[in-house]
Structure 1
Amino acid sequence: MLEITLTLLLLLAVLFYIFMTWNFGYWRKRKVPGPAPRIFFGNYPHMYNMKRHAIYDLDEIYRQYKQEYDAVGIYGARSPQLLVINPQLARRVFVSDFKHFHDNEISLMVDEKSDFIFANNPFALVGEGWKQRRADITPGLTMGRIKTVYPVTIEVCQKLTEWLRKQIRLAEPGGIDAKDMSLRFTSEMVTDCVLGLKAESFTDKPTPILAYIKELFTQPWTFVVYFVLVSTLPALRHVFKLRFVSRRIENFFVDLMQSAINARRGQQAAGKQFERVDFLDYILQLGSKRHLDTRQLTANTMTFLLDGFETTATVISHMLLLLARNEQVQQRLRNELEAHLNARGVIDFDKLNELPFLDACVQEAIRIFPPGFMSNKLCTEPLELTNKNGENFIVERGTTVIVPHYCFMLDEEYFPNPQVFQPDRFMQPDAAKMYREQGVFMGFGDGPRICIGMRFAMTQIKGAIVEVLTKFNVRVNPKTRTDNLYEPTAFITTLKGGIWLDFEPRQ
């Protein structure tokens, strides 16, 4: 009996091994080079222990093969993926060959039944659905509308200064959490600009909005389990879908949307003319035109909210960190800003986007700490590719194509001393555009699916930086690490251990 049991166990082990390694010949059969995968892990050795950010594993592969090939075959657990290691090929994926890589891989993991809000975000939408949603939302983010709500930016900046002065008086030895501060700023900004409501994020008793935003972007360990499972058994994506926005958070924002609608319509019923043509005004017009209910209006509005809270706060906090580390650059930027302050001590909207060193500092901060460190695209139409020093191969429909933006933006071949904060890299006219066309800098993506909120985000980032630097000297608190190591579990790039800064009021 024991022998039979052991034989069955051995047979099961052999079958399991065959199952786990069956796909490992996928790229070899197509004559696409790449590193040997390991059982359970594929080419992500830290998939389970999460002790190191996955982008560092990809960077090692990138550096090993970049001189010889344009793309290599890798595996996430047992799922084949194509890793792009030539920046010009990366640009083709986003621009010239866009129709072949139209969708994002996340679209396979969500639907309206599992997550109505996220499934209706342009990032997750596919095909004509994506095209229609982008066409609907883009007019709400024109420079004219952004300019209309710029006074809100100034008002929130003043609240930020008052909050910082209060924190300084409390004199916490561990410094101020720059990410928390930046999230307070973006939650107050976006909530007011998009919904016309106050989040009260800089008060002692903020509304629940800030807490729900933080919860939204603090994803549970079940996310990691889900990604591991679907990498091991891709068919599970047809059975189990991902829920990024929990039911509780969805209900909260639906109720919040209804409150905003009621408040705006109440003003209109009372004969009051709202003083600005803001994003809510546009969304209500869109809802009336398309006969959308509150839940559908919320899904449209959450595009502004999801894309505007975390990523913008991340850029602000990392930029302050890099400026705090380099006092010379900080003072150089401050000199530029102070030269353009108006009588009220702020920079006019039209002038804000004409300050070259401010723009260069933002772009350089995004390069070192890109919120989107990689893109997982989906092949939507088969395409034959050449492979430098290798053979031609066909990318089949449904293949996940990984574009590792971090690898290009932190490569000394394209950016000498890549870990060093050097804004002068972006001081040439149209430098960001030049790098983007080379495929080595995609801070906001590229091509038809480039971030639609880019201009709104840049206004928030620049507004916050202007306020902080003209009112405070910024220093790094000893609690903050001195390197640029990423938090291993973060979906959006974050410095490991957090960003803790000291602020000193300027006279």
Structure 2
Amino acid sequence: MLFTVALLVVAAWLYSKYCHTYWAARGVVTIPGYIPFLGHSHKLFRTSYPRWLYIDEVYKNLTGSKFCGYYDQLTPTLMLMDPELVKTILIKDFNHFADRRNFGMTSKRDETVKEMLSFSNGDHWKRIRSVLSPIFNSSRIKGIFPLVALKADALVDYIHREIKSHSALPLRKTFALYTLEVISSCAFGVETNSFQGEEQIINDMADKLLNVSGSRFRNMKTLLFFLFPRSCSFFKISFSPPEIVFFENVIMETMKQREKGGKRGDFLDLMMEAREDQKDPDLKAPKYPLKDVTIVAESILFIIVGYDTTATTLSFIAFLLAQYPEQQQRLRQELKNIVKEYGTLTYQGIMQAKFLDACISEALRLHPTINFVERICTKDYNDRHIEYLKDGMRFALMEVKLALAKILLDFEVSCAPGQEQMEFAKSFGSMRPSPDMKIVFKPLINCEQ
């Protein structure tokens, strides 16, 4: 018996060693430090050390390389570090790399999460996306611009009130209030009034949903699905955080109210309209009948992909502008020119602001909120061309640009004393500022005196 067990262990170990020769056999530089069975997973998925920091170290150590190989347990994975190669995979040949990691969700509690675009694969993903893509075209986003503008104005008013009693404001928290206001209003039509200190339950639930506090238990649970998806599937362990149920109820209640009347022209209305359009008997080729659970799922996905990432992006941009006041002034002048040309901040004006674009791009280059994107090759890789629309990016950019424009036309932004350099939170997932980071807003009227 012991001999059989020992033989199986040795065989498994040899198989692991064999799997870990994949990249070396093909002449691909391999990240050092992999171990039998786990490969590099013990470094990539540590709860005590941010994954983005490890990837950053690898990138810096392999400066000049276009790509390198590593092992997700026994699976060979290629890490791309060349911008042109990344464009090839995500744009030019995207139809070969549309699928993402499969977490093997089998629990009934995960039905909503499985309907989200970010967790769907294959034909199911393509069908949902074909219906939802038109919702994110420029004309639709332009129609939602007034809703976002109201929230940007509310952010400016909030800052004016807060600086009367505080010399510096929390960096990420200030922008998180804004992004959640925008998403709640534009995605599922709920007014949180968080700038007035009301409805904090939605803010709290959103933070818990995204594990902003860095709960060790939640990190470990996520780790289980990354490392042992088949085991999680077999035991029907739920991937969904409990806060999903709260947002499901909020959105379903809002949908019931919308069906009785009172449309707002937000994304929830657009998805419900798309659902009805697919039921039209005169439609020659209906794309995909949207179910209620799909609409709920995509509404919650707005929070997952747009709340923390957009707030963090705004935080990094504001801090960089505080570090470089001459560039801040240059951007402010561009915004003043836009107001002079259009009479106010318009959708067309801010979307054409070149230096504003440059500031956002540079902040994302230095501090990418999404530090890695995983794709799975689903078929033989040949050179083909398709267009990949960056659906949600249009809305996120408009949201970021409008907030920055409104703030810079009202305030001078500077670093808080003793915080001249960015400090990062040691979070398991995304790169974000330390919760202790603050920023100073000084009204321009005072600056000019």
Q: TM-score range by the shorter chain?
A: 0.7 to 0.9
In the TM superposition, 1:404-443 aligns within 5 A as none
In the TM superposition, 1:87-486 aligns within 5 A as 87-105=83-101, 107-110=102-105, 113=108, 115-171=110-166, 175-218=168-211, 220-226=215-221, 228-229=223-224, 235-236=230-231, 238-239=233-234, 245-246=240-241, 248-268=242-262, 274=263, 277-288=265-276, 289=278, 294-341=292-339, 346-383=344-381, 450-478=389-417, 480=419, 482-483=421-422, 486=424
Contact 1:110 1:119 in 2 (8 A): yes
**CA positional deviation for 1:42:** 3.2
**CA positional deviation for 1:339:** 2.7
User: How far apart, in 2, do the equivalents of 1:36 and 1:384 lie?
Assistant: 30
SS of match in other structure, 1:453: helix
**CA positional deviation for 1:300:** 3.2
Residue identity opposite 1:451 in structure 2: K
User: How far apart, in 1, do the equivalents of 2:426 and 2:104 lie?
Assistant: 22
SS of match in other structure, 1:82: strand
**CA positional deviation for 1:321:** 0.9
**CA positional deviation for 1:188:** 1.1
**CA positional deviation for 1:327:** 0.9
Query: Structure 1-normalised TM-score?
Result: 0.74
User: How far apart, in 1, do the equivalents of 2:337 and 2:412 lie?
Assistant: 17
User: How far apart, in 2, do the equivalents of 1:447 and 1:57 lie?
Assistant: 33
Contact 1:115 1:242 in 2 (8 A): no
**CA positional deviation for 1:322:** 0.8
Residue identity opposite 1:372 in structure 2: I
1:220-259 Cα deviation digits (max 9, x unpaired): 434543565566556436536775542x422222221233
User: How far apart, in 2, do the equivalents of 1:314 and 1:295 lie?
Assistant: 29
Contact 2:186 2:267 in 1 (8 A): yes
Match of 1:271 in 2: none
User: How far apart, in 2, do the equivalents of 1:471 and 1:23 lie?
Assistant: 59
Contact 2:90 2:97 in 1 (8 A): yes
User: How far apart, in 2, do the equivalents of 1:209 and 1:84 lie?
Assistant: 38
Contact 2:115 2:297 in 1 (8 A): yes
Identity rate of aligned residues, in percent? 23
Residue identity opposite 2:394 in structure 1: R
SS of match in other structure, 1:72: strand
Match of 1:441 in 2: none
What residue ranges of structure 2 are gaps of 5+ in the alignment?
280-288
Residue identity opposite 2:375 in structure 1: K
Task: Describe the shift of the 1:368–1:236 C-alpha distance in structure 2 as closer, same or farther (beyond 3 A).
Answer: same
What's the C-alpha RMSD, in Å, of the aligned pairs? Answer: 3.6
Moved more, 296-305 or 130-139: 296-305
Query: Structure 2-normalised TM-score?
Result: 0.82
More helix by share: 2
What residue ranges of structure 1 are gaps of 5+ in the alignment?
269-273, 386-445
**CA positional deviation for 1:24:** 2.4
Match of 1:435 in 2: none
SS of match in other structure, 1:39: coil
Contact 1:47 1:228 in 2 (8 A): no
